[in-house]
Amino acid sequence: MKYIKIIIALLLVGFSNGSAAQSRKADKDTQAWRYEVEAVQTGVQGTYLIKVWSYSKNPDVATEQAKKNAVHGIIFKGFTGISGVPGQSPLANSLNVENEKEDFFKPFFKDGGNYMKYVSLSNDGAVGAEDRMKIGKEYKIGVIVAVNITELRKDLEKAGVIKSLTSGF
């Protein structure tokens, strides 16, 4: 019985260390902000439905990071449209906003941060074969994400990160 408890304890420590290592890898991948965003279709009012292509050596990390990358893309990159779906400009008018408001964005984009309030995976994290590519030593994973742009914009305006649409030019 004593050996079983020791084995279980060792397994739990091993799993928690693996999870921590995966989290550090995800943070490293996110800090590089390597992703692509493309329009998929029109979502419900106030929501963008986009496909986010994320890169990582671990496909699970890329899938999880898609949510973070989606919000980052809406704020800082925008995306081009496709037939029947208009493109969108980024919410931030300046490329420097991320650095200028680092005290806001660092906790915002941490694992489990406030960015999670604005996203959901529309395919529950399931990735189709056509959306999973091996490129060299890493994977390029495409995940469809819904982003609540209305709430995101409102909260960014309230925090003073972006200007209100009604504030003038």
Count CA within 13 A, CB hemisphere, residue 10. 6
Q: Kindly state whether residue 85 falls inside one of the protein's structural domains.
A: yes
User: Which residue bears the tokens 């929501």?
Assistant: 47
- What lies within 8 Å, CB to CB, of 6 at 6+ separation is none
- Number of CB atoms found within 10 A of residue 117's CB: 12
Measured CA distances, 137 to 84, 117, 141, 147 (Å): 36, 32, 13, 30
Q: Which helix (H) or strand (E) holds 87?
A: none
Q: Kindly state whether residue 166 falls inside one of the protein's structural domains.
A: no
Phi, then psi, of 11 in degrees rounded to 5 = -65, -40
Q: pTM, whole model, 2 decimals?
A: 0.79
Residue numbers of the domain that contains 140: 2-158
Q: Kindly state whether residue 169 falls inside one of the protein's structural domains.
A: no
- Number of CB atoms found within 10 A of residue 17's CB: 10
Q: Is the pLDDT of residue 93 over 70?
A: yes
Q: Kindly state whether residue 14 falls inside one of the protein's structural domains.
A: yes
Mind listing the pLDDT tens digit for each residue in 26-52? Answer: 555 555 789 999 999 888 889 999 999
Mind listing the pLDDT tens digit for each residue in 105-140? Answer: 999 999 999 999 999 877 666 788 889 999 999 999
Give how many domains the chain has, as a whole number. 1
For 155-161, what is the mean pLDDT? 94
Q: Kindly state whether residue 128 falls inside one of the protein's structural domains.
A: yes
DSSP state for residue 147 in the 8-state scheme: E
